[in-house]
Amino acid sequence: MHQSPQAPIGMFDSGLGGLTVANALMRRMPAESLLYFGDTARVPYGPKSPDTVRRYALQIGEWLVSQGVKCIVVACNTATAHALDVLQSSLPVPVIGVVEPGARAAVRASRIGPIGVIGTSGTIASGAYTRAIQQQSPGTTVLAAACPLFVPLVEEGWVDHPASRLIAHEYLASMRDAQVDTLVLGCTHYPLLAPLLAAEMGPRVRLIDSAEETAVEVERVLADRGVLNQGDPEHVEKPTHRFVASDAPRHFLALGGRFLDVPISAVEYHVFS
């Protein structure tokens, strides 16, 4: 399927968290238009079974293709962990997930290991990060921990709240004991907790947010296929971003600003029957 450089980049997440990846894409490729789908009617994906997440991801992927996107970014760690392979084999456009890029950035940042990974229950149970890190750096010890309460805390805006600090202290105990030198924030929401997590882990530990590395990967894939939109230096044309949610657009509008660095002016509504 050939697309023009002007076609939008499609991306999706279970909800709003993937907007942290949208920020990175906008920063790295300012001429690109984005079509972002947030599955706010069915969030969270973290505790759901792999089959259910795969079904949701395929529905959304097919819909994004029907909207004319030139590639799809799975801006959700849980959906990447469970559904990247099925999306890549079923859809006619390149599909890029966040796990590989995050693992690559962690391997690059780590000096002696071990590497810690935190994410939703689904992401951690899938073992996707551990596999990806050990594929790139065989022999590296990887410690993984599910932190299911972090998502609701971030959505509540409690990114610097004593309760969040207490919970982080508890969740990260095994990471501190093992003296990880790198911690992968394997969930779209966790970058918003980065200052609190950094304080908890101490200055020796590098925190990895896969968003930046994912943007590098997307740029490379688009350039390889000759569909990277570099903009026209003669005409400063603004990209058009579309935001679509499967539940109450008002909620998306109200909370989206916590995740996205630019204002969201409108949110469309699309529901899967």
Nearer to ligand DGL, 3 or 14 (CB): 14
Distance CA 224, CA 84 (A): 20
Residues with catalytic annotation? 76, 187
Nearer to ligand DGL, 151 or 167 (CB): 151
Q: Which of 204, 159, 208 is nearest to 178 (CA)?
A: 204
Distance CA 250, CA 198 (A): 33
Q: Report long-range pairs for 131-136 (Cβ below 8 Å, ≥24 apart).
A: 132/99, 132/100, 132/102, 132/103, 132/104, 133/103, 133/106, 133/107, 133/184, 135/103, 136/103, 136/104, 136/107
Position with the least CB separation from ligand DGL: 46
- Residue numbers at the binding site for ligand DGL (CB under 6 A): 13-15, 17, 43-46, 76-78, 119-120, 123, 151, 187-189
Locate 32 and state its tokens.
Answer: 């690109």
- Beta carbons within 10 angstroms of residue 264's beta carbon: 19
Distance CA 106, CA 115 (A): 7
Q: What's the min distance (Å) between Cβ of 238 and ligand DGL? A: 28
Q: What's the min distance (Å) between Cβ of 110 and ligand DGL? A: 21
Nearer to ligand DGL, 17 or 249 (CB): 17
The angle subtended at Cα 266 by Cα 92 and Cα 65, nearest 5°, is 5
Nearer to ligand DGL, 9 or 228 (CB): 9
Q: What's the min distance (Å) between Cβ of 2 and ligand DGL? A: 31
Q: What's the min distance (Å) between Cβ of 75 and ligand DGL? A: 8
